[in-house]
Chain A
Amino acid sequence: MLSAGAVNALLVELRAPEVTESRADEIKSEIVEGHQGLIRHFIRLRDPQTYEDLVQIGTIGVLAAIDKFELDRNVSFGTFAGEQIKGELSHFYRDDGTIRISRSVQSHLGQIRTAQDAFVTQNNAQPTFTELENCVDLNRTEILNALQANHSSHYTSLSDPDLHIDIADSRNEYDFIDEWESVRPAIDLLTPLDRKILGMRFVEQKKQGEIADELNLNQMAVSRRLTAILEQLRHEVDTE
C-alpha cells in the first residue's frame, strides 16, 4: 500500500493544471494499484465467480476517492478511500441478489429479534441463549448461524431501519483522547449514531442493552453496529 504522503504527493501532481492526460491516467493507475490490498480487505466473499467483479467495484471506490479526497482534511487517503470502497460495495450488495444473506436466515434473524424484544418486555432482562431457544421455533445451529449473519457487513448495509434514526451530531459529545488518539481519524468519519454508540459503550461503559433502551434500538442492532465500528477502527490501525 502506498504511504499517505506518497498518495498526497500524487494527488497534488494529478490536480496540477499542467498535468497531461496520459500522466493523469498513470497516477490514477498507480493509486488504484497501491490500494488493491484495501479493496481485498473489504471483500469478504471469496467466491471466484464474483471476486473479480467485486475488485472492479472496489476500484470504482478508489477512483471516487481520488476525485473527492480533500488534501487538507485531517484524515489519511486510505481511511477515506476505505469509506468509498465500502459505499460502492454496499450498493452492489444491496442491488445484486446473488450476494444477499439468504431469506431463510433473514427470517430467522427476525424471529430471534422479535422473541428477544418480547422476552425483555416481559422479564425486564435479556434472555440467555437457552431462554431464547425456548421462545423460537429454531434449532441451536439455526440460531448460531443467524447470529453470525447478524454481524455480516452485507446485512448491515441492507434494510436496517435502525441505521436511519435521526440523532444529533455527537462529534463533541465524547472526548476520544489518550488511548483513542491513533483511531481518531476513523472516529471522525463515523456517523453521529455510530459515534454515540461507541461513546456510550466504551466511554460511559454502558451495556448494549442499556444503549438499546436509550436509543430505542434492539440489542442486536447495537451489537451489529459495534462490530462494524470496531472493524473500522482496526482497519485504521492496520493501514497506518
Chain B
Amino acid sequence: MNPDLNPDVSLCVPNQAEYLRVIRQIAMVVGARADLTLEALDEGQLASDEAANILMKFAQPDAALHFDWSARPGSLQLRSRTRCLLSELPDLPKTLEYAWVIISAITSELDIYLKGGQVHVDLSVTSVR
C-alpha cells in the first residue's frame, strides 16, 4: 500500500457505533469509483466496517476515528487510525477472534500496527475476476 496516496474521501467520526452506516456507505461509493466488481464492493464495505470495529475496540473513549479511502483501478484502499488505549497491541488473532478470520479473508493487504500512540488499520480490497 502506498502511504503517500492522496485519499479520495476522508472522514473523521466519534468513537460510536451509529456512524458505521456512514462508513459503509462511503466505502461503497469509493469502491464504485475504483470500478470494483459487486463482490469486491461488498467486501470493501465489510472490510471498512471491520476496520472501524477494530479501531473502536482499541480507541480511547473520547478519541475520534479517522478514515482515508482511495480508489485505484480495481482496488479500494483504506487507511484508518485512532488514539490507542494500549501501549502495545495484543496478539491480534487471539483478541479479535472471528473478526480476524473475516478481515483476513476479505482483504488483499492488511496491516494493523501502533505508531505514535495511534492504532492504525490499513487495508486494501481488490477485485478478483
Show the binding face of A for B, using Cβ within 8 Å.
116, 125-130, 132, 140, 143-144, 147-148, 179-183, 201-202, 205, 207-209, 219-220, 223, 226-227, 230, 233-234
Contact = CB atoms under 8 A, between A and B. Distances in A.
B25 interface: yes
Is the contact region of chain B dominated by helix, strand, or loop, or is it mixed?
Answer: helix
Interface residues of B, number: 27
Contacts of A132: 38
17 contacts: A126-B39, A127-B38, A128-B37, A129-B36, A129-B37, A129-B41, A140-B32, A144-B32, A147-B28, A148-B28, A179-B96, A219-B39, A220-B38, A223-B42, A226-B46, A230-B46, A234-B53
Interface string B58-91: 0000000000000000100000000000000000
A227 B106 CA distance: 13
Is the contact region of chain A dominated by helix, strand, or loop, or is it mixed?
Answer: helix
Contact of A144 (B28, B53, B100, B101): B28
Select the residue from B37, B97, B98, B105 with max chain A CB neighbours within 10 A. Answer: B98
Given A180-B101, A182-B97, A144 B29 contact: yes
A141 to B, nearest CB: 9
Contacts of A227: 42, 46
